[in-house]
Amino acid sequence: MNRDKQLVGAAGEHLVLSRLLAKGILASQAPRGVRKADILVNPLDGGRPVLIQVKTTSGSRTRVGWPMNVKDETITEIDLFYCFVNLGEDNPQVYVIPAKIVAKVIKRGHQTWLKTPGSKGQKHNETNMRWISNSFRLKNEYTPDGWMDKYLENWELLG
Q: Compute the distance between CA of residue 4 and CA of residue 45 in angstroms, rounded to an integer.
A: 38
CATH number of the domain enclosing 59 = 3.40.1350.10
> What's the pLDDT at 61?
59
The pTM of the full predicted model, rounded to 2 decimals, is 0.90
- What residues make up the domain containing 48? 5-158
Total domains, the chain = 1
pLDDT digits over 9-65, tens only?
899 999 999 999 999 899 999 998 888 899 999 977 777 899 999 999 986 656 678
6 or 95: which leads in pLDDT = 95
Spell out the residues 6+ positions from residue 62 whose beta carbon is closer than 8 angstroms to its own.
none
> What's the pLDDT at 71?
95
